[in-house]
Amino acid sequence: QKEVEQNSGPLSVPEGAIASLNCTYSDRGSQSFFWYRQYSGKSPELIMSIYSNGDKEDGRFTAQLNKASQYVSLLIRDSQPSDSATYLCAAEGGGGSYIPTFGRGTSLIVHP
Amino acid sequence: KAGVTQTPRYLIKTRGQQVTLSCSPISGHRSVSWYQQTPGQGLQFLFEYFSETQRNKGNFPGRFSGRQFSNSRSEMNVSTLELGDSALYLCASSLEAGVPEAFFGQGTRLTVV
């Protein structure tokens, strides 16, 4: 059973701080990793994808992947109240399958 | 560029009935996947279609089925509805099968009473 684990939170950070969201996955064969943001009552929105070990930066977002530790993280710099949402981590590609496995999500609250 | 369009947005059905949901992918996208999202189970993969063929299937009973048309539009059908089928059903499209970046539609909120 492939699993992706996330702390459900909520993670509360003050405006302007760095929010750090973490995710672990069980399938060592997973090749592709994604972070989705989901506002309450809305559908998930892809914000980052990462395929190689190391860091990938896109604006205020940085995704980090460590395949040896089976660990993925998302850093949000200069957090804004508009970043308040649930962040879903997904892993895909183990065993030639393209079926993604999603974590349950971490709720982030950025307070002014 | 229009996004993924799902219809209807909301549905209320009675136990035992069947339901059909529709999804139009982003123009040029040929792969369509369906997901069920519930508070208890999170986001779970139902199936993926590419070129009118089901490529992958998640761990759901045979009451859940789908199809894809030649224009890449997709439908999913749930027969003999159960209360536990109440969920947000999401469709996601991607450019090609095996291209992992997927873009979600707004979803269909199904309530079974």
pLDDT value of position A26:
93
Q: Is B86 exposed, middle or buried (0-12, 13-18, 19+ CB in 10 A)?
A: middle
Q: What confidence tens digit (pLDDT) does each residue in A44-53 have?
A: 999 999 999 9
- The residue with tokens 């993926």 is B48
Interface of A with B in 83-102 (CB under 8 A): 88, 92-93, 97-102
Measured CA to CA, the distance from residue B112 to residue B103 in angstroms comes to 27
Task: State whether residue A43 sits within 8 Å of chain B by CB.
Answer: yes
Is B55 close to A102, i.e. CB distance below 8 A?
no
Chain A's closest residue to B5, CA to CA, is A43
- Which helix (H) or strand (E) segment holds residue A23: the answer is strand A19-25
pLDDT at B99 over 80: no
Nearest 5°: phi and psi at B55?
Answer: -95, -35
Please list the ranges in chain A whose pLDDT falls under 50. Answer: none
Q: What confidence tens digit (pLDDT) does each residue in B7-61 have?
A: 999 999 999 999 999 999 999 999 999 999 998 888 999 999 999 999 889 999 9
Å between A92 CA and nearest CA of chain B: 8
- Which helix (H) or strand (E) segment holds residue A11: the answer is strand A11-14
pLDDT value of position B14:
98
